[in-house]
Amino acid sequence: MNQEDAGAFPSTSDLRVLAARASDSPGWDSESSRESNVAPEGATDDDSLFDAYSRAVTSAVRRVSPSVVNIEVHHSAGRTRSGEPRERRGGGSGFIFTPDGLILTNSHVVHDAQRIEVTTTDGHRMSATAIGDDPASDLAVLRVDEPGLTAATLGDSQQLRVGQVVIAIGAPYGFQSTVTAGVVSALGRSLRSYSGRLIDDVVQTDASLNPGNSGGPLVDSAGRVVGVNTATILPAQGICFAIGINTAKFVASRLLRDGRIRRSYIGVSAQTVPVHRRVVRFYDLPKETGALVLSVEEDSPAKRAGLREGDIIVALEGQPVAGVDDLHRVLTEVRVGVSSTLTVLRWTETLELKVVPEEAR
């Protein structure tokens, strides 16, 4: 067994923690547990630990499953020859995160949908409306008008550790309440969203995801949502990604407040390029790459600032810019309408230009 395969199984110490956590969960019957924990003849301690692992997973699933929904979307697909409207269907997963019916899911599941319907695990079907949608982070918030809904408990993705047990719940290929378990394979990954921007602080897991899992919750062994399942790498096996719940909390709060995420822009097309080592050493630049300006939009903040094609952006307001992704990252909503210093290389000289970013549309 190679090292990667070995990482798919919880360690003995992890299983002991899971056993203790499972014993504290609601509905745990200490008497029956003592009876059931009596190992049959020939059983080993490891057998008991894996039983505890199973109980912890089932306990977590029991807590969060009532909050998980299957999402069905309907898109307009033009008209038939007879003039009848034609629909294209899609779907994914999501989860209720407030008792009054707010649902988190992926942007790519519901983007531009004409009609959205959600179905709970008990088969209850409801119409949903989109509150906000952010393709740059691949997150969206929906609302259903229904009383008495069960909301999932949100955790803290900053507390995750590599090797920790996580569980993915969703509706792959329309099979509702499908559960897969695995471990956190890596933290702090970056993932390219459908809009082209990078999503930071992504959780990598080997809990299997398939089409339809998108938007469903990734939960820890205590049943707390720690991520929003979003993507897999095909044809690789066991490389799946979830957007950290801390990112999702921030995006959801902005979507609820404004209906969108405000970001700034300066109006350039750019690509990441290396900077000559002599120039890096001479100007003591913190990075060896920058964002090469390929074009500048007319009547844009960059044009008014004097930025030209061929300039290499290396910093914005003192923050290093190692390429296009860094430039996107520093152009946040706090930059909108605020004069900022843009440090650029023009041939072998450095220039500091004053730019006032505008709100991206």
**What is the spatial distance between Cα 183 and Cα 189, in angstroms, rounded to a whole number?**
15
Q: How many CA atoms lie within 13 A of 111 on its CB side?
A: 16
3-state secondary structure 242-277: EEEHHHHHHHHHHHHHHCCCCCEECCEEEEEEECCH
Q: What is the separation of C-alpha 190 from the centre of its chain, rounded to a whole number of angstroms?
A: 10
Residues sharing a CB contact under 8 Å with residue 124, sequence separation 6 or more, in sequence order: 146
**What is the spatial distance between Cα 103 and Cα 260, in angstroms, rounded to a whole number?**
16
138 part of the active site: yes
Q: Which one is catalytic: 133, 134, 138, 326?
A: 138
Q: Please, what sign has the CA dihedral across residues 176, 179, 185, 187? A: positive
Beta strands at 217-220 and 198-205: parallel, antiparallel or unpaired:
unpaired
How many residues belong to the chain? Answer: 361
Structure letter (DSSP) for residue 74: E
Tokens in use for 134?
Answer: 């952010």
AA identity, residue 168: A
Q: How many CA atoms lie within 13 A of 91 on its CB side?
A: 20
Q: Which one is catalytic: 107, 108, 206, 311?
A: 108
Cβ 186 vs Cβ 179: under 8 Å? no
**What is the spatial distance between Cα 182 and Cα 163, in angstroms, rounded to a whole number?**
9
Q: Which one is catalytic: 93, 107, 214, 264?
A: 214
Tokens in use for 116?
Answer: 């959205």
| DSSP-derived secondary structure for 160-187 | --TT-EEEEEE-GGG-TTEEEEEEEEEE
133 part of the active site: no
108 part of the active site: yes
Active-site positions read 108, 138, 214
